[in-house]
Every structure is written in C-alpha cells, then in structure tokens.
Amino acid sequence: MGFQETHRSQQQTLSRPALIAGQGLFHGIDVKVRLCPADPGTGIVFRRVDLKDRPQVAAHVDNVKSAARRTVLASRSGAIVETVEHLMAALAGLQVDNCLIEIDSIEVPAVDGSSMPFCEAILAAGLSQQLTPRMRLSVAESQGVNDRAGEQWIEVIPACHGNTTIDYRLDYGPEAVIASQSFSVELTPEAFLRDIAAARTFVLQDEISALQQMGFGRHLTGRDLVVFDADGSVVDNKLRWQDEPVRHKILDCIGDLALSGCVFVGRVVARRSGHKLNHVMAKTLSTIDVCGALLERAA
C-alpha cells in the first residue's frame, strides 16, 4: 500500500477552550471534558487531570485497548479513556488537527449519544489555522480487512477525485429488527454537520439486560439513546432520520479511523464494520512510513 501527496492546507486547533460535561455512556459517571488549543504537530491527546501526575494518552491506534462496543485508549503511563469515538469523530469531521483534551474521569460524556454537542462546543470556541501545513495523503493501493465469516468488512480504495468518502451498508440479515440501509457521504465539515454529526448511538431492547448485568448503562433510558424494540419501533424516542443507524455507524467509522494519525484521501467502503475492524483498518493506515516517503520525494 502506498501514498502520494495530493494537497496541503493549514493545520487547525481551537481558538479557545471548550467545556462539555455529562455522564459517560457505559459507566454513568459524571465527567467534565475541556478541549484546549494545542501546538502544531501535537495531534489529539487526552490528559487525565483527576489522576496523579495527570498522565496523558495520545489518540492513536497504538494505544487502543480491546473493549466491547466502544473505543478505549490506554497508555503505559496509566491513562485510560473510554468511549472516545464520538468526540474523535467531531474533531475529525471539523478537521481539528491539534487538541489537548483534559478529562476528569475514565469515560468521555455521552451527551445525546451523537457528535453534535461536541461539534457545537468546538464551533462556539472557534477554529484557528496554524502555520504548519496539514498534509492530506492519497491512498494509492486498495487495502481491506474482514471478519472470518466474511459478513463484515471495510476497505479503503483509491479515490477518483481529491476527497474522502465513506460508503456504508448496514445489513443484519432479512430477519433483523433494523432494516438494511445504506448511506454515502463525502467528508467535508459541511456534510459531516448536516448528515452525520447528529446521528445517535443505538441498541436493541433485548441487548439491554445483558449489558446492564455487565454493569453497563444502568443509568440510561430510551430517552438517552435510540432503543429498537423487537418490532422495529423506537422506545420512548424518535429517529432523527429513518436511516439514523447507518449514519451513526459512519460516525463511529470516522472517529475510529482518525486514530490512524493519517489524514487520507480515498474511498472507504464498509459493510457492518464495527469498532474492531475499524481499528484494524486504522492500524493498517498507520503503518505507512509517510515521513520517509515524503522525505524521499523531497530529495
């Protein structure tokens, strides 16, 4: 797999800090997150301000820790931050390259189960361009990963234009509670805000008991996220789009692939890909020696 330089623009950070508070989705712990401006080249870094020595963990796939139904980061310094994908999607969707995220508990607040509250806080704080170029690299060769059964897969292929798109098909089978649905989006800040950011996390009613027995989500009701009953209806809530589930899967994909540390141009094609496969693809993207390739071309 190779990359070639396609475009340069300036890196971005926040103009001033932004504060978001709420309960975590899985643990229900009250938490405050402060998004702070950061120097060029910093990337996205979490800092656990509630722990001794305020340990940090970079938002990079090398720090991903295996966990069910969410993305968890853990560093050797002892910093663990859970359920980062919706915040990561907001930062990636709005093209924020550098941000120090101060967090005072183990899990990012769930807010409404989407990325929109994070986006609103970021936009209220404002964005500032930095002097350092923001490199976008074009996927030159297709790469794909799939589960053993071949029912779930994700592939990144070269794009015929200079943008990144995600084509996602959500298909749990003909007898599934959630109907098969597809969506495609070109990843611009405008399209992210309009079509993806407000899509909320979802769960099946018959999954809730098992999750709560594991200690997760005991504080939640149908008003806090999208819960699908056995007949396909939504419990105590309303969909924002009829195809909100597939839009949320794209949101998760954006947040997970941002952990590659690579801003890439290409077409992402996925079927039922979840956090685990997204992380494998992020790892694949991260293994390219981008700096070496650029230095060789510059010479």
Is the CA virtual torsion 219, 65, 255, 273 positive or negative?
Answer: negative
Rounded to whole angstroms, how far apart are CA atoms 229 and 93? 31
User: For the residues of 133-190, what is the DSSP string, one character each?
Assistant: EEEEEEE-S-EEEE-TTSSSEEEEE--SSSS-EEEEEE---TT-SSPPEEEEEE--HH
Give the angle subtended at the CA of 91 by the CAs of 285 and 152, to the nearest 5°: 45
DSSP-based three-state secondary structure for 288? coil
Q: How far is CA 60 from the centre of its chain?
A: 11
Pair 135, 8: CB distance under 8 Å: yes
Residue 275 bears catalytic tag = yes
**Given the residues 27, 60, 275, 279, the one annotated as active site:** 275
Q: Which of 37, 36, 59 is nearest to 46 (CA)?
A: 59
Which of 292, 296, 266 lies closest to 281 in space, CA to CA? 266
Helices within 185-229 (DSSP H only): 189-191, 205-213
DSSP letter at 295 equals H
Q: Shortest CA distance to 102 belongs to which of 79, 129, 125? A: 79
Positions marked active-site: 275
